Structures are given as C-alpha cells and as structure tokens.
Amino acid sequence: MPETTAGLGRRRFLAGAVGVGAGVALAACTSNEPPAAAPAPNAGAAPAGDNAEPGQPVTIGFSAPAADHGWIAAIAANAQAQAQRYQDVTFEAVNPTNDITQQIAAVETLINRRVNALVILPNDGSQLTSVGTRAMQAGIPVVNLDRIFDSPLAYRTWIGGDNYGMGVSAGNYIGTRLRDQGVTNPVIAEIAGIDSLPLTQQRSQGFQDALSSYGFSIGPRQAADFTAQGGQRVTANLLQAAPRLDAMWNHDDDQGIGVLAAIQQANRSEFFMVGGAGSANAMRAIQADDTVLKATVTYSPTMAGSAVSLARLIAQGRGMTDLVEREVPASITLASATITRENVGQYLPLGFES
C-alpha cells in the first residue's frame, strides 16, 4: 500500500477571445461576402485515436514486493494481464521480494538490460528512490506505482490510490447511513492498519474529517497489521471493551477476513461495517447481505494494469488521446469508490481474492 499520495495541480489559460470575437463580428457586418464559418469552439481538442493500436515495440520491466498479501498478489497479476493485451509490449518481471537490497539489485538488472520503461512498486519508496533516479538518468522512464519515491527526479509518472479519500468515502457512507437512520451520538469503531505508516494516518484523517462534517466522532479504535490474524486479534479485544457499536470501518479487506471472524465469534450484529480496498470476497459478502459488512471503499490493484499502459505510452512517445496534452500526465490519483449491494455487480469483476 502507498506511503503518500501525490497532488494534482491545475493551470488555467486565458485566450484573447474578446478581441478575436469583435474582429469577426465587424467583418461580418461590413462585407458583402457570405460570412465565414465560425472557428471551432475548442481549437485545442485532442485528435481522435486509439491508444490500444499497435505502436513501436517496447520492453517494460516490472518490480514489486512479494505476494504475501492478496492486494499485492493482485498487483502483479493485473500488471501481467495488461501487458498481454498489447502485441507491441515485451513484459520483463523480476522476482518479487520483500528484501530492499534484493529489489534494488533486481531493478538495476533491468536498467542494465536497457528496458524501454520501468514500472516499480517499491517495498519502501524512500529506500528505492536512488535506483529510480539512476533509471531516469539512464534515459529509462519510470512509472512509480503506489508507494511514492522521495523525489520526483526518480520517476516520470506516479499512479496510485487515494488513502485520504478512502477515509472520506468510508466516513461519508457511515455518516449518511446513521443520519438517515436518525441515530444520534453514535459509537463508531475503527480498525486501522499499521499506525506507523503514513497511508494509515491518511486514511484515519480522512475518516475523522468526514465524520466530523456530520457532527460524529470516532469511538473505540485499534490498529492491526493488514493481516487476517491481526485483524481478528484486535477486533476481539475491541469488541470486548465496547458492549455497543453503531458502525465500524476496517481499513483493509485482507485483514477484514479476521475482523469478520471475530465479529461472528462474538455473536455481534447490532452494527454495520465498511471495508477497505475492494476484495472479491468482501464484495461477495456485500452481495449476499448475510454479515455486518454492508460496503467497502476501493483502493484497487487494477492500478498496476494502468501503470503498464502508461509506461507503454511514455516509452512510445505517445500521450493519452482523450486529453488535449500530448504527454502522459506526471501524476494520477485514483478515486476511491464506495461499493454497496446496489452497485457491487459493476465492481466484482475487478475484485482481488484475499
């Protein structure tokens, strides 16, 4: 999961529309010639095109942590599946590892092979910043996936999820549901991930900020470790200390397996729960509507497939044809959707198995 998120800037451009428009109007009034056709309202419109059309053959290197977590396993699967869609892409994935030194060495191997682009999900963004910078200095564009490097000199484009937005989405769903039910002074629990990680802090802050807009606050809170075992342990402790709850947010659907197990073992059903990330098993539970889990907010590993697509376009010198600009953006933050029983069918095909 990411260590931070990247912000997106906007620029506004002002054209001399008034002067041009006045000149056209004057010519129309003083000439006996038929009026000329008006210029297109958006002269900077992007040309039509299909980014999936074959282009220059490119080799994309890929490195990610070991798949000891359902979300991470889905990252690798999504990257490979997307690469296979393109006949102009050769996909070179190095062995996944949770060892920082080994990941650096693996990326250096890809640099030495002179791949055309790199997609890197670092175990630790800070510790792999130097190898990302070396790749960029060698003329190999880097798409930094999820966990961000310390310096923008280490990557061409960053793409990842919105941790703060996850918390906001969860808080808005819980706040709206409790408000609509007429609940006042609700007891709202939070099962976080690893508190020392910025991503957990961002999720919790978004959750707190969203709830405060409804006049609600977070009640009992426990931090787990993004594992099913940790989720079960801390949830059991929280439930013992909290005889009544109205709602709960669990940050991660992988650890949510243990969270739900603890809830069922405690025979508690007076509250509803929101998950996080968008696993397929969480979506199936939402669809079946037979547990306290009523929604989950997305942090989808499909971002790895998008990272491969972006790396391909950058390596081929192409842009995103739906945009006016000719270059791939430098930063893309994915939105966090709220999945409920009403829309789960749309998202289930994108879910990952925990």
- Shared domain for 200 and 346, answered yes or no, is yes
Q: What are phi and psi of 167, to 5 degrees?
A: -60, -40
Residues 146 and 212 in one domain: no
Indicate whether 174 belongs to any domain.
yes
Provide the token pair at 152: 């923008």
Task: Tell me which residue range forms the domain holding 117.
Answer: 58-160+302-322
Helix axes 129-137, 100-112, angle to 10 degrees: 10
**Does 38 map to a domain?**
no
Please tell me the distance from the alpha carbon of residue 107 to that of residue 113, in angstroms, as a whole number: 10
Residue 192 lies in a domain: yes
Q: Is the pLDDT of residue 95 over 90?
A: yes
Q: Report the pLDDT value the prediction gives residue 46, as an integer from 0 to 100.
A: 41
Query: What is the pLDDT at residue 281?
Result: 96
Q: Is the pLDDT of residue 4 over 90?
A: no
Same-domain check for residues 309 and 276: no
The confidence band for 106, taking pLDDT boundaries of 50, 70 and 90, is very high
Q: Which helix (H) or strand (E) holds 184?
A: none
How far is residue 154's CA from residue 127's CA, in Å, rounded to a whole number? 11
Please list, residue by residue across 157-173, b when 16 or more beta carbons sit within 10 angstroms of its beta carbon and e when fewer do.
bbbbbbbbbbbbbbbbb
Residues 156 and 168 in one domain: no
**pTM of this structure:** 0.82
- Looking at the structure, tell me whether residues 131 and 205 fall in a common domain: no
pLDDT for the residue numbered 49: 59
Judgement on whether residues 226 and 144 belong to the same structural domain of the protein: no
Asked whether the predicted pLDDT for residue 296 surpasses 70, the reply is yes
pLDDT at 34 over 70: no
CA angle 27, 32, 38 (to 5 degrees): 45
Q: Is residue 130 part of a domain?
A: yes
Question: Per residue in 161-182, pLDDT tens?
Answer: 999 999 999 999 999 999 999 9
Classify residue 334: in a domain, yes or no: no
Per-residue pLDDT, 37: 39
Residue 220 in contact with residue 161, Cβ under 8 Å? no
Question: Is residue 317 assigned to a domain?
Answer: yes
Long-range Cβ contacts of 146-150 (<8 Å, 24+ apart): 146/1, 146/2, 146/75, 146/121, 146/303, 147/1, 147/2, 147/3, 147/121, 147/122, 147/123, 148/2, 148/3, 148/4, 148/5, 148/6, 149/122, 149/125, 150/125, 150/126
Same domain, yes or no: 139 and 256: no
Q: CB of 331 within 8 A of CB of 155? A: no
Predicted pLDDT at 16: 32
Give me the number of domains the chain comprises. 2
Rounded Cα distance between 290 and 284, Å, is 10
**Domain match, 84 and 132 both:** yes
Residue 221 shares a structural domain with residue 257: yes
| Statement to judge: residues 178 and 226 lie in one domain | yes
- 157 contacts 195 by C-beta, under 8 angstroms: no
169's tokens? 């989405």
Question: Residue 281: which CATH number?
Answer: 3.40.50.2300
Q: Are residues 226 and 307 in the same domain?
A: no
Q: What is the pLDDT of residues 227-281, one digit of tens each?
A: 999 999 999 999 999 999 999 999 999 999 999 999 999 999 999 999 999 999 9
User: What confidence tier does 51 reach under pLDDT thresholds 50, 70, 90?
Assistant: confident
What is the spatial distance between Cα 301 and Cα 350, in angstroms, rounded to a whole number? 8
Q: How is 239-294 classified by DSSP, letter by letter? A: HHH-S--SEEEES-HHHHHHHHHHHHHTT--SSEEEEEE-BHHHHHHHHHT-SSEE
Quick one: which of 105, 162, 108 has its CA closest to 135?
108
Mean pLDDT computed over 115-129: 96
Give yes or no: residues 234 and 142 share one domain. Answer: no
Q: Is 222 helix (H, G, I), strand (E, B) or coil?
A: strand
Whether the predicted pLDDT of 40 surpasses 60: no
Confidence of residue 76 (pLDDT cuts 50, 70, 90): very high
Question: Does residue 23 belong to any structural domain of this protein?
Answer: no
Tell whether 50 is covered by a domain: no
E-strand stretches of 45-110: 58-63, 89-93
Mean pLDDT of 208-225: 98
